[in-house]
Amino acid sequence: MPTPDESRADLQLVTAAAVEDAQAVFATTSGAPEARRLQLLDTVPGLIGYYSDGSAALAADFYEETREIARARTAFQVTLTVADRVVKIRRGIAWAAEPLFGETEDGDDVDSRLAQVVQLETARPYRDTVLGNRKRDPDAIGWARATAGGCKFCRMLADRGAVYRERSANFAAHPHCHCTAYPVFRGGDHGPEANAMQYVASRRSRTPAQRAVLREYLNENYPDIPG
């Protein structure tokens, strides 16, 4: 069975392939900026959908294997979670195409923006599948974060092998974030429950005061890590 870090690396291969294909699509576009944007809008959402299915399937396989190793006591059917995000994806692609309308029609900037949108959207179904099944699984007590450790924000969220037991806990991710979630089951080895700051950092939105406290906490506790 792959470890959480090995499964995270597998997901990174999937997202990298999706980004490469999206950038290849952009390289074939031609005509006026409006026409090139339309070509991206016609093609990239379907490409993301294809890789999203693979991302969710990867998570489902890993969930089942982890559950089996943990010797879960109840029967449970793991399901894939791929949310309908076509509208948001199209908005992201339109944003990625904006540099085409500048004076220089900056293709490199489009490539960079496309990578940001495609990577984030392709990784999302993996995380959603883990978190969604964890909420329905009577033997799961929460989920934890496997991180590449690239920034202090992600390092803090994964620190101590923290387990996010609150069902409302969100998976916080940033552009080009290569972290994943993995399920934690009762009776197995796992870290302590996430602390108050980790839960605050996982919220979808934070007040200015919470953001200031979080930034101070990150700088004080992770001074040698970028971000």
pTM of the model: 0.92
pLDDT of residue 1: 75
pLDDT of residue 60: 98
Annotate 155-178 with b (16+ C-beta within 10 A) or e (fewer).
Answer: bbbbbeebbbeeeebebbbeeebb
pLDDT of residue 170: 92
pLDDT in tens, the chain (227 residues): 789 999 999 999 999 999 999 999 999 999 999 999 999 999 999 999 999 999 999 999 999 999 999 999 999 999 999 999 999 999 999 999 999 998 777 778 999 999 999 999 999 999 999 999 999 999 999 999 999 777 899 999 999 999 999 988 999 988 888 999 999 999 878 999 999 999 999 988 888 999 899 999 989 988 888 77
Pairing of strands 140-146, 180-185: antiparallel
Is residue 36 within 8 Å of residue 100, measured between CB atoms?
Answer: yes
pLDDT of residue 159: 94
Phi, psi angle pair for 14, to nearest 5°: -65, -50
d(CA 174, CA 161): 20
pLDDT of residue 141: 96
